[in-house]
Amino acid sequence: DEQKAQYKARIKSLLQERDAVLVAHYYTDPEIQALAEETGGCVSDSLEMARFGRDHPAKTLIVAGVKFMGETAKILSPEKTVLMPTLDATCSLDVGCPIEDFSKFCDAHPDHTVVVYANTSAAVKARADWVVTSSIALEIVEHLDAEDKKIIWGPDRHLGSYIAKQTGAEMLLWQGECIVHDEFKAKALRELKLQHPDAAVLVHPESPASVVDMADAVGSTSQLIKAAQTMDNDTFIVATDKGIFYKMQQAAPGKNLIEAPTGGNGATCRSCAHCPWMAMNGLQAIESALADGDSDKHEIFVDDSLREQALIPLDRMLSFAA
């Protein structure tokens, strides 16, 4: 604990020295979220992280999250230095959607509008007409469907099929998944609900359809926190990364928050409701990103032509959301 306190103190002074601000996602560990709050940074969902980074006057952004979040920040603010605690923090959706294959998929359907989730590489974004995050995806697809657009959706198949079902839009889905949300199990959730008959079920739409179907509220991380805050229930069963409990409990003090089950009957799961890449954002890694002169280990660079191309669909989302 003493060592943690030392890291925190050192991070605070480095943030000032470097004119830097810490931007963290709700899935990072509570101590990282608390540090972002304490130091005037932000803790939020993917959409808000992008907006905050773009609008903040600091010269340097340190992004505690996964690589696509750092890349998005750099695309929106090329003049800023964008650092990450580790460049190895990736995302199964990003990894599962290589640009060469995705580009072929798009080329095979030239009459389709290409909509990609923010959880993708800069190259995949550059191939897209729209970028969306989970808090705005439904509205954007509704808007495109109203214009009778046929849609290519990538990479999350669960989020894509949820949106297709909600909007009735014609969507061709890339078959990617989030290893964290894909583990939530409907059968075990049904059993848990029997033990807590008054609980409301909150589900992130990266979860399988069988789990989403049982939800009382479906939404992005920020929307789920809002649901816990505003719904009357005293108990919530929450199907998303457990990092969210820190802010959700703050937003809904006194309410009982329960993790939704991953894997049935003690069966192993790949991630057990905590993203292994989000978990890489520790205090030590943040300290070394800020202290290190070695930009190869921490700094995000995006090729100029790719950046300009990826900025178009990202800006389209941000203007739509404004």
x-or-dash string of contact with ligand 13P, 190-209, rule CB under 6 A: ----------------x---
Choose between 93 and 152: whose C-beta lies nearer to ligand SF4: 93
Between β-strands 130-132 and 171-173, what pairing exists: parallel, antiparallel or unpaired? unpaired
- 33 belongs to the binding site for ligand 13P (CB under 6 A): no
Position among 113, 134, 207, 271 found at the interface with ligand 13P (CB under 6 A): 134
Count of residues of this chain found to bind ligand SF4 when the rule CB under 6 A is applied: 14
- 92 belongs to the binding site for ligand 13P (CB under 6 A): no
Which residues 211-250 are close enough to bind ligand 13P by CB under 6 A?
220-221
- 306 belongs to the binding site for ligand SF4 (CB under 6 A): no
Return the number of other C-beta atoms located less than 10 Å from residue 7's C-beta.
19
Is the dihedral angle over the CA atoms 240, 245, 250, 255 positive or is it negative? positive
The SS3 call for residue 280 is helix
Choose between 28 and 287: whose C-beta lies nearer to ligand 13P: 28
Which residues 101-130 are close enough to bind ligand SF4 by CB under 6 A?
119
Choose between 88 and 170: whose C-beta lies nearer to ligand 13P: 88
The SS3 call for residue 234 is coil
Rounded to whole angstroms, how far apart are CA atoms 10 and 17?
10
Between β-strands 217-218 and 256-259, what pairing exists: parallel, antiparallel or unpaired? unpaired
CA 184 to chain centre: 17
Which residue in the block uniquely carries the two structure tokens 């409907």? 186
CB 278 within 8 A of CB 27: yes
- 135 belongs to the binding site for ligand 13P (CB under 6 A): yes
Contact residues for ligand SF4, defined by CB under 6 A? 27, 66, 91-93, 119, 178-180, 206, 241, 275, 277-278
